[in-house]
Structure 1
Amino acid sequence: MYALLLAIIYLAFVSLGLPDSLVGSGWPVMHEDLSVPTSFAGIVTVIIALGTIVSSLSSDRLTRRFGVGLVTAVSVTMTALALLGFSFATQFWMLLLWAVPYGLGAGAVDAALNNYVALYYNARHMNWLHSFWGVGASISPFIMSLALATDGGWPLAYSGVGWAQVALAAFLFLSLPLWRRVCAAHAAADDAPEAQAVPLGGALRIPGVPTVLLSFFAYCATEATAMLWGATYFVDDRGFDPTLAARFGAFYILGLTAGRFLAGFVAERLGDRALIRLGFSLAIVGSLVLALPLGVVSFAGLILAGVGSAPIYPAIIHSTPENFGRENSQAIVGIQMAAAYTGTTLMPPLFGFLSSATGLWLFPVYLMALGALGLVMSERLSRQ
């Protein structure tokens, strides 16, 4: 029973990653078909991010009322319908309309599943589950490239991923009795205090919460900035061929995926705090390598930054029940998700603004500064 539910959760994490790279990989063609400037991609991603922030902050109340199984099934259904809506969009405003349920669905399922795994599974599975998210995020650009090579174009990619999400949503609804049995078994065996509603203001007054939010914000800002600007840095600042830069620019997410898989084997031995410390330190070293005049070898810095970043997100989430109490964990995880989406929304555009004035040489320095902020905040949390 427990193993079957864990397999379903692994599948759900793949589905979380699948849509995440579709907009970026398809936008060079999408914006031309929709007759809008390239910069309008930011409008779509900001609406999605705002939806995820709202639903993340609401995840505590929704999960306590409806249960993690139903929240997951409904959320995946919303993202599936949004993706299918994208596939039928012929005007830009249609994308904006469907971006709303996309974001609302993504934030709720992310917070609900992450907290559930943090409560009832060990650090090994937390890292491997997030590695499976990376598998989904790595697959979607290939789906888009295959679709663009056909007459179906980018709508075919959204349609294919959308119908895959519909199938997963149907499977999740069928598995609701299993969710209820397992959750009832957990409740019967769990002697921790019952989960309670924690308003945002009350959560921020819990010792250590503002600190962990800053650490999580810094990490997610680092990840999003590296994924968005890595290839551009190598082309515009280092003078590499765009094709080569695009190919090696994907190494960050590959390092992220592989690093989480490897971290699963040592997570129990090292513990969450050591993984966070080691992860931020390696990410900073990787950013330093990016700044050095090493030619093509400097690509190794992007890989090292990805591998270093790998265990940070899972370890912060997994340590939440221990740091703040199991009864508070769902509320805190929801707020952490909101901080994460805030970082991924604000900090990459901020880098674009700063680099337009200073130059793209700022890229590794920016990553090092964010990594240092995350490391300092995580160490402060450990002392608290």
Structure 2
Amino acid sequence: MYALLLSIIYIAFISLGLPDSLIGAGWPVMHQDLDVPIAFAGIVTMIIASGTILSSLASERVTRRFGVGVVTAVSVGMTAAALVGFSFSGSFWMLCLWAIPYGLGAGAVDAALNNYVAVHYAARHMNWLHACWGLGASISPFIMSFALTSGMGWSSAYLIIGAIQAVLTFALLLSIPLWKRVNSIVPSHHEDGEEGDAESPPTGNGSRHVPLAQALRIPGVLLILAAFFAYCALESTAILWASTYLVADRGVAPATAAAFASLFLLGITAGRFLAGFFADRVGDRWMMRGGFITVGTGVLMLALPLQTSTLALIGLVIAGLGCAPIYPAIIHSTPVNFGRNNSQAIIGIQMAAAYAGSTLAPPLFGVISAWTGMWLLPLFLAVLVALGLVMSERLNLMVDRRNEVPVS
């Protein structure tokens, strides 16, 4: 029964990733059909990000009221409706309108499922689940490419993904009784150490609501929010600007730069699949620490002013592999660091910090680089790596002092 529920969650994570790459893949055609400037893509993504931040902050209250199963089904249903709405949008204002339920649905389900897995399943599942997100995000550009090359148009790609989401919504609605049956079983609690019980039966949510202001006052929460913001900022900045940096500053051919920029994303996805095999033995703390150090190594290789660009290209791939375990480790360690009763509220705030970092950092670097040049990218990324590592290590020290155990 637990395995069946876990399979449903895996599929839901693939579904989470499916729509995320559609706008980027289809916008070169979409903005022409909608007769708007190419820069208007930022308006749509900002509306989506605003919705995800709001629903992430509200996820703790909503999930406690209705349960993870209902929240997941309704949220995926909202994204399905939004994607179908995108497919019928003949004007830009309609696209903006449908972006609202898309963002609200994505944020709620992301926070609810992340907390559920963090509390009830081992670290390997958190890594594999986020690898599933990467799988979904990697599939959707191919669907958009197929729709465009076959002459069906970009709207067909949204309709296809929307139909997939609708089918998943129906499956999730049917699974709600399964969530209730599993939730009726008394849990095996997390151990006091860094890792929880690898296969403890999932349970329902606690009854005590944790207000936002109270959650923010919990010692260490601001530290992990800063670390999460920094990680998501560096990931999204590298995804958007790495190819341009390689071409403009390192003289790499555009086709080669695009290929290695895609390998950064593939490195994150593949790295999470690999990390899942040893995450339980290594522990969240070392997965996070090692990830930041590996990213820093890759960024250093990217920055070295050598005649050949080979080391920079390899450094980009290494940075992607280093990014892989950081996000899952931060989420999975939340119940241990802050308590199971607080984890849903804190993970909701973490999701908001993640979306804020992903949304704000890339355009910020774009503005800065317009004045300084693209050479600044490795330094920009290095600052974010340092911020994430320092904040996460400060949290580790705080947790060690609280638990009165030797510092590892």
* TM-score with structure 1 setting the length: 0.97
In 2, Cα distance between equivalents of 1:317 and 1:206: 16
Counterpart for residue 145 of structure 1? 145
In 2, Cα distance between equivalents of 1:24 and 1:205: 37
How many Å apart are 1:238 and its aligned residue?
A: 2.1
Tell me the secondary structure at the aligned position of residue 36 of structure 2.
Answer: coil
Residue 105 of structure 2 corresponds to residue 105 of structure 1:
yes
Select between 117-126 and 151-160 the one with higher mean Cα deviation. 151-160
Counterpart for residue 263 of structure 1? 275
In 1, Cα distance between equivalents of 2:284 and 2:27: 37
In 1, Cα distance between equivalents of 2:152 and 2:256: 27
Select between 222-231 and 105-114 the one with higher mean Cα deviation. 222-231
How many Å apart are 1:191 and its aligned residue?
A: 6.0
CA deviations 1:93-118 (Å, max 9, x no partner) are 11100100000000000000000000
In 2, Cα distance between equivalents of 1:295 and 1:102: 40
Residues 80, 162 of structure 1: 8 Å contact kept: yes
Long gaps (5+) in structure 2: 191-204, 399-408
Aligned length: 382
Letter in 2 for 1:140: S
How many Å apart are 1:124 and its aligned residue?
A: 0.7
How many Å apart are 1:290 and its aligned residue?
A: 1.1
CA deviations 1:229-255 (Å, max 9, x no partner) are 111111222232322222221111100
Counterpart for residue 200 of structure 2? none
CA deviations 1:152-191 (Å, max 9, x no partner) are 1111111111100000000000111101111222xx2356
In 2, Cα distance between equivalents of 1:297 and 1:144: 33
How many Å apart are 1:296 and its aligned residue?
A: 3.5
How many Å apart are 1:196 and its aligned residue?
A: 2.1
Tell me the secondary structure at the aligned position of residue 89 of structure 2.
Answer: coil
Residue 198 of structure 2 corresponds to residue 200 of structure 1:
no
Letter in 2 for 1:289: M
Counterpart for residue 304 of structure 1? 318
Letter in 1 for 2:247: V
1:229 to 224, 241, 246: 241
Residues 195, 328 of structure 1: 8 Å contact kept: no
- Counting aligned pairs with the same residue, the percent is 65
Greater fraction helix:
1
Residues 64, 206 of structure 2: 8 Å contact kept: no
In 2, Cα distance between equivalents of 1:237 and 1:154: 33
1:369 to 383, 393, 396: 383
In 2, Cα distance between equivalents of 1:295 and 1:229: 16
Query: 1:316/1:191 Cα in 2 relative to 1: closer, same or farther (>3 Å)?
Result: closer
Runs of 4+ in 1 over 6 A off after TM superposition: none
Counterpart for residue 157 of structure 2? 157
Counterpart for residue 46 of structure 1? 46
Counterpart for residue 222 of structure 2? 210
CA deviations 1:336-360 (Å, max 9, x no partner) are 0000001011111100000000001
In 2, Cα distance between equivalents of 1:215 and 1:230: 21
Residues 51, 103 of structure 1: 8 Å contact kept: yes
Letter in 2 for 1:7: S
In 1, Cα distance between equivalents of 2:207 and 2:135: 32
Select between 5-14 and 193-202 the one with higher mean Cα deviation. 193-202
In 2, Cα distance between equivalents of 1:18 and 1:189: 32
Counterpart for residue 114 of structure 1? 114
Letter in 2 for 1:240: V
Residues 256, 309 of structure 1: 8 Å contact kept: yes
Counterpart for residue 359 of structure 2? 345
Residue 374 of structure 2 corresponds to residue 360 of structure 1:
yes
In 1, Cα distance between equivalents of 2:25 and 2:255: 14
In 2, Cα distance between equivalents of 1:80 and 1:28: 23
Letter in 2 for 1:325: G
In 1, Cα distance between equivalents of 2:130 and 2:114: 9
Counterpart for residue 394 of structure 2? 380
Letter in 2 for 1:272: D
Residues 22, 144 of structure 2: 8 Å contact kept: yes
CA RMSD across the alignment: 1.2
Tell me the secondary structure at the aligned position of residue 361 of structure 1.
Answer: helix
Counterpart for residue 176 of structure 2? 176
How many Å apart are 1:195 and its aligned residue?
A: 4.9
Paired residues for 1:274-289 under 5 Å = 274-289=286-301
Counterpart for residue 401 of structure 2? none
Letter in 2 for 1:355: S
In 2, Cα distance between equivalents of 1:30 and 1:355: 27
Residues 252, 309 of structure 2: 8 Å contact kept: no
Letter in 1 for 2:344: Q
Letter in 2 for 1:274: W
Tell me the secondary structure at the aligned position of residue 265 of structure 1.
Answer: coil
Residue 271 of structure 2 corresponds to residue 273 of structure 1:
no
In 1, Cα distance between equivalents of 2:18 and 2:27: 16
Letter in 2 for 1:253: L
